[in-house]
């Protein structure tokens, strides 16, 4: 558990998944269209909320500002070749939220690189830190960003808050 005092008292759990891709080698994959990416993000939200429902929790509401932040961060990791909660300049998820004008009392972030969003959600739920964020009663809103690397691997960023 990481404590962040920047916007008041907030406990924020961070987790990271690097489940291996099961994509086939050989030819270079075709990059998905923006419609495919939006469909993947909708699927990721559906899977996350299904896992919450199975555990007796209410669905998280999609937050468009968080989604834009998650999409931007996923693309930044691909463009600059890193995979971490803090970017190369040391900016934390909470710093990025604050810079985007997103207020919160609780916040957290999950990151994954995988072959598709379904596999990423399975990996999240099989990891105690990720699972804790997904099933946290502290969070009420989420933004999910999905971006595809040139290799075909999918980067999934889940940004969680309670305003």
Q: Where are the chain's structural domains?
A: 31-162
> pLDDT for 84-110, tens place per residue?
999 999 999 999 999 999 999 999 999
Mean pLDDT of the chain: 86
Rounded CA separation 10/106 (Å): 5
- 3 with 12: CB under 8 angstroms? yes
Q: What percent of the chain has pLDDT over 90?
A: 79
76-85 LR contacts (CB < 8 Å, sep 24+): 77/111, 77/155, 78/147, 78/149, 78/150, 78/155, 83/16, 83/18, 83/111, 83/113, 83/155, 84/16, 84/111, 85/14, 85/16, 85/109, 85/111
Model pTM score = 0.83
> pLDDT for 6-46, tens place per residue?
343 333 333 444 333 333 334 444 556 767 999 999 999 99
CATH of span 31-162: 3.40.33.10
């Amino acid at each position: 558990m990481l404590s962040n005092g920047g916007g008041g008292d907030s406990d924020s759990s961070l987790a990271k998944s690097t489940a291996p891709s099961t994509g086939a080698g050989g030819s270079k994959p075709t990059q998905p269209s923006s419609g495919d990416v939006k469909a993947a993000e909708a699927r990721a939200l559906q899977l996350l909320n299904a896992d919450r429902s199975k555990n007796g929790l209410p669905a998280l509401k999609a937050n468009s500002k968080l989604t834009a932040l998650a999409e931007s961060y996923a693309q930044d990791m691909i463009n600059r070749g890193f995979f971490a909660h803090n970017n190369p300049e040391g900016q934390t998820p909470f710093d990025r939220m604050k810079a985007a004008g997103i207020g919160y009392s609780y916040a957290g972030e999950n990151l994954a690189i995988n072959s598709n969003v379904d596999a990423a959600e399975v990996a999240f739920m099989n990891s105690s830190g990720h699972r804790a964020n997904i099933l946290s009663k502290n969070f009420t809103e989420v933004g999910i960003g999905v971006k595809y690397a040139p290799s075909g691997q999918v980067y999934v960023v889940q940004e969680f808050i309670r305003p």
